[in-house]
Amino acid sequence: MTFKQSVLSEHTFAFIDIETTGGNAQRDRITEIGIRFWRNGVVVGQWQTLLNPETRISGFIERLTGISNAMVSEAPRFSGLADELEQQLEGCIFVAHNARFDYGFIKSEFRRLGRSFSARVLCTVRLSRALYPEARRHNMDALIARHDLPAVERHRAMGDVTAMLAFFQHTLADRGESAVAGAVNRLLQRPSTPSNIPPDMLTALPASPGVYRFYGDNDALLYVGKSTNIRQRVASHFSGDHQSSRGIRVSESLRRVEYTETAGELGALLLELKQIKTLSPLYNRRSRAAKSLVSLSLQQNAEGYLTVDLVREILPERLGDYFGLFRSQRDALNALRGIAGKNDLCGKLLGLEPAGPGPCFQRSLGRCKGACEGAEDITRYNLRMQIAFHSLRLKTWPWPGPVALIEDNPETERSEWLIIWNWIHIDTLNDHQHTEADLEQYQPRSGAVTFDLDSYKLLVKALLGKDRNRHRIIELPAISQPAVLMP
């Protein structure tokens, strides 16, 4: 095939795939690299090597890739091949399936050596979505089946490169050079970014759910955010006019971006809350951890009338005994004043006025029916109290033990199991490190967990709200509950 003057004839495309010890580019390492170079319709070369990752390969990864610790024990380290790899890729368009994974790992390996690496990046997952928008799945196995591509050795670098290049060549025959070149051009266009960060920063971000973190000078954490599309959300910080002076300050101070992928939106929301509360980023104001939580409990006094106590030691296993969660005593008292005004309840019995003989102030205004003087029937008053506080009653945990709330993402083929107990997010497991069968032996990590107001609200909505059927839930066997800290 002879190509017209276009991006397809002007550049060498390096179809690259890597195998790694895990899914985290900051922590895990590369075990194999395979590259096939393609230009103007012809394969013009290839490059392949195993790498010693300088860490142990887990049994799970060995079974997945077929690359064992013995196979890489005598292989070169990345540091010994960095110069050669950089020369091989110089001037090429970096092509990979789910490219941010491969590109992110290559950049991280160079970064460990104190070096930077940059390239124009083309993702064949995004190319497939652009050319075949009607298709639901775009992972490599789906492409092989849908387009009847040749069988390859999956999860080995050169096998996956072969499949990727076969897909690319299939698109040329199926959609035509003009359509493919147009899609490639659009995908290679880079959105604008602040001048103080690398121009390819957005390219390396995933278009999937998760949490992103902005860092400034001296690695100060500026901001933590979440999105169902990290790349799109981060790009939105830099497009158009900023709506606030804070946005301008964040953009001017930004030096680098980190992210953590999740399988779904709930996992991203919970992780965002946790990181805001524990890491205290400079420009996050909402969702900061409360200094203390206050709730309300109803108790009968000596005469049998229900009174209100402020509660600061909240037991998660007894949430059904409490009414409302407030970030301060002032918020709790303001809520009580509102309840008293709407329901003609006694200020003394609510703890809004000092105890003592005589009627409450509300009684003198005609806003109390006389419980403070024994003038209102006890049963009637207590019923009115229960009705007034009903909507504030906290939700009792509806399962005998912990549960795993499962989020699946068919686009990224990622699954996560959010371990929840007594409305506390205890842990998150993912299918890169575990199987669903592991849940039967699950035990929480050592250390205490914190009962959090915002997480409680999120989890009540997810597990009991109108969208509760969106998630699959598995009841877990009894475990040793970790110590619970209250703010």
Q: Percent of the chain scored above 90 by pLDDT?
A: 54
Q: What is the DSSP letter of 349?
A: T
pLDDT at 241 over 60: no
pLDDT at 398 over 50: yes
Q: Determine, yes or no, domain membership for 83.
A: yes
Residue 41 to residue 11: CA distance in whole angstroms: 11
- Identify each DSSP E strand in 250-305 by its residue range: 256-261, 294-300
pLDDT (mean) for 168-178? 93
| Confidence (pLDDT) at 25 | 83
pLDDT at 430 over 80: yes
Q: What is the DSSP letter of 74?
A: T
What average pLDDT does the chain have? 87
Residue 324 to residue 335: CA distance in whole angstroms: 9
pLDDT (mean) for 17-40? 92
Does one domain contain both 175 and 46? yes
Burial of 67 per CB tally in 10 Å (0-12, 13-18, 19+): buried
Q: Which amino acid is at 109?
A: E
- pLDDT tens digits along 294-304: 999 999 999 99
Stated as kind and residue range, the H or E segment containing 270 is helix 265-279
Does one domain contain both 168 and 256? no
Confidence of residue 240 (pLDDT cuts 50, 70, 90): very low
Domain boundary among 249, 279, 309: 279
Does one domain contain both 94 and 238? no
pLDDT (mean) for 435-464? 82
* Chain centroid to CA 190: 24
| Confidence (pLDDT) at 194 | 67
Comparing C-alpha atoms, which of 432, 435, 430 is closest to residue 416? 430
Does one domain contain both 103 and 173? yes
Does one domain contain both 71 and 181? yes
| Confidence (pLDDT) at 482 | 67
DSSP string, 133-198: TT-S--SHHHHHHHTTPPP--TTSHHHHHHHHHHHHHHHHHHH-HHHHHHHHHHHHPPPP--TTS-
Q: Determine, yes or no, domain membership for 199.
A: no
| Confidence (pLDDT) at 242 | 41
| Confidence (pLDDT) at 440 | 76
Taking the CA atoms of residue 411, residue 256, residue 232 and residue 225 in that order, the dihedral angle to the nearest 10 degrees is 90
Domain boundary among 189, 213, 240: 189
pLDDT (mean) for 263-271? 95
| Confidence (pLDDT) at 486 | 59
Range of the domain at 52: 7-189
Does one domain contain both 413 and 386? no
| Confidence (pLDDT) at 209 | 95
Q: Determine, yes or no, domain membership for 195.
A: no
pLDDT at 419 over 70: yes
Residue 329 to residue 310: CA distance in whole angstroms: 8
Does the predicted model carry a pTM greater than 0.85?
no
pLDDT at 380 over 80: yes
Q: Determine, yes or no, domain membership for 398.
A: no
- pLDDT tens digits along 103-122: 889 999 998 999 888 888 89
296 bridge partner residues? 310, 323
Does one domain contain both 150 and 220? no
Question: Would strands 449-450 and 484-485 be described as parallel, antiparallel, or unpaired?
Answer: parallel
Burial of 319 per CB tally in 10 Å (0-12, 13-18, 19+): buried
pLDDT at 161 over 70: yes
Residue 236 to residue 203: CA distance in whole angstroms: 14
Q: Determine, yes or no, domain membership for 287.
A: no
- pLDDT tens digits along 63-85: 989 999 999 999 999 999 999 99
- Which has more confidence, 98 or 223? 223
Confidence of residue 2 (pLDDT cuts 50, 70, 90): low
pLDDT (mean) for 208-224? 93
Q: Domain containing 151 — which CATH number? A: 3.30.420.10
Does one domain contain both 432 and 353? no
Residue identified by tokens 């990979």 is 96
Q: Determine, yes or no, domain membership for 159.
A: yes
Does one domain contain both 15 and 158? yes
Torsion angles phi and psi, residue 184, rounded to 5: -60, -45
User: What is the domain count for the chain?
Assistant: 4
pLDDT (mean) for 254-279? 93
Stated as kind and residue range, the H or E segment containing 131 is helix 124-131
Does one domain contain both 41 and 177? yes
Q: Domain containing 219 — which CATH number? A: 3.40.1440.10
Does one domain contain both 362 and 321? yes
Q: Percent of the chain scored above 70 by pLDDT?
A: 92
pLDDT at 312 over 90: no
| Confidence (pLDDT) at 487 | 62
Does one domain contain both 408 and 388? no
Q: Determine, yes or no, domain membership for 329.
A: yes
Question: Would strands 120-123 and 30-39 be described as parallel, antiparallel, or unpaired?
Answer: unpaired
Domain boundary among 166, 189, 212: 189
| Confidence (pLDDT) at 342 | 92
Q: Determine, yes or no, domain membership for 86.
A: yes
Instruction: Decide: 52 and 77 in contact? Cβ < 8 Å.
Output: yes
pLDDT at 190 over 80: no
pLDDT at 393 over 90: yes
- pLDDT tens digits along 119-129: 888 999 989 99
407 bridge partner residues? 416
Residue identified by tokens 């397809």 is 8
